Chain A
């Protein structure tokens, strides 16, 4: 039995928060593939559908209340938690109160209960949006770069606060629980439906003519694999997740081969405001179309190896095109 399989087998009862998300489903499949005896329980506040039919996987839709979570923790005695349930920021995706409730209050409850019920490992999926896209960003932001995501856009406030809350909690409880906070670059793939994937795949979505920032992309399979590996191999800490190759926004759009409307950024900004009801494009993403927010991946590669990424950014984009 390989060392990797042995480690996966130490995970017996796993909680996945946000199981309705495509990434969570792929992660669950990977965990089962590595250990057939694992028990996974997935939860989501959204309606759950299209979950893989596996005997090792149970799921429930529930409100993220303390009572509900406590009941679940008591029943399942989880040893590992994957918190992949951050709510997105598209203007059409719920109001700010709902987001704060899920992203902050829900996360706080989960962390408290993880400690109370003596979980061994918690993996939290944050985002590179916590760093923000700024004209004065270094090209490869390290994990200790300041979190300036919400400087300009209040709609990113809960994302930054959630990340900070998790990392504070992580260091405070590092002697009891191993916690890993992952800050991935743009996750793309045929099953992922995040804002940047939607933007790239939308025909005639406006593309800024006067800016062409660098982007990093990680394929959904690589991301799910890193989430699983992080539970097995990463020590307590924050890790950026991004491949080695960097690509410009215009190159990415060209690879996906969807026709875009090339206009100056001022027009993109106005269109984003006017078309909010039909165009699911968060306003804060405008800055990501102007300035870079690229990540240094040395910490991740030092711990998971140089060959952790199966797909380059270009390959990931190519795969998006074929679907």
Chain B
């Protein structure tokens, strides 16, 4: 494990240097975080990444389904891209402003690479050659009741416009297994509104169950060159549907081949 991280640290240092970037990423801290997350990633969640060969050494807009009540899926995708991909990189997840305003958590997340989900930030990051991670389902995706598990919510269009403006390819991703972290969930929407927080899930278990995670990386999707970032919603709709379909297909494939907690326990 130490040798693995020495190599990753070297590669990340070559890529990012030693200094912080303008969004607060501190490469050294990010690697230290990875070392802490790795045992959870490897042994607790037993993550397996499929389709690594689709990731080349260039910036991507990584688009994923959002599952699991708390953004552990984002943490696992970021760990996969930093540790298991041929050209390791620190993915820049675009996060809610609610998170950036929180004491300690806001600081920790930005030092680890997270960035406020804002168009200008996203464009500037892609222009600098960074890959960003977006969840176009938003809070609707992550905060689902048990009966809606793995139902892909409609995507918002903002990410498409940013991908067009920056000419970045879209990398579709499906995470399977995260909905089983908290199998029985009820959302207290009114209370969440009262406390002015994005979601307030009430779960039977407080700690996420050790559900095995499969991350499926699809083939990159290039948007046509002539498409304008200011195109009408109707012009973007076919592309949005195609990307949703790609992630839906990856999800369905993943669900068919799903590894369950029970299987892991038996093993």
Contact = CB atoms under 8 A, between A and B. Distances in A.
B107 A139 contact: no
Contacts of B20: 214, 246-248, 251
Nearest to B117: A136
A136 B100 contact: yes
Interface stretch (B51-59, B118-126, B146-154): B118-126
Given A211-B107, A212-B24, A214-B24, A139 B97 contact: no
Interface string A209-220: 011111000000
A258 interface: no
Contacts of B118: 136, 138
B238 interface: no
A210 B103 CA distance: 5
How would you classify the secondary structure of chain A's contact residues: helix, strand, loop or mixed? loop
Instruction: Tell me which of B116, B119, B121 has the highest count of chain A C-beta atoms within 10 A of its own C-beta.
Output: B116
A137 B100 CA distance: 10
A140 B120 contact: yes
Interface string A136-169: 1111101000000000000000000000000000
A290 B24 CA distance: 13
Nearest to A145: B120
B184 interface: no
A213 B20 CA distance: 12
A271 to B, nearest CB: 16
Contacts of B116: 135-139
B194 interface: no
Nearest to B118: A138
Contacts of A251: 20
B101 interface: yes
Interface in A264-297: 264-265, 290-291, 294
Given A210-B104, A211-B103, A291-B101, A138 B24 contact: no
Contacts of B100: 135-136, 291
B24 A248 contact: yes
Instruction: Tell me which of B97, B104, B118, B120 has the highest count of chain A C-beta atoms within 10 A of its own C-beta.
Output: B120
B208 interface: no
B22 interface: yes
Q: State the 3 A-B residue pairs at the shortest beta-carbon distance, nearest first.
A: A135-B101, A210-B103, A138-B120
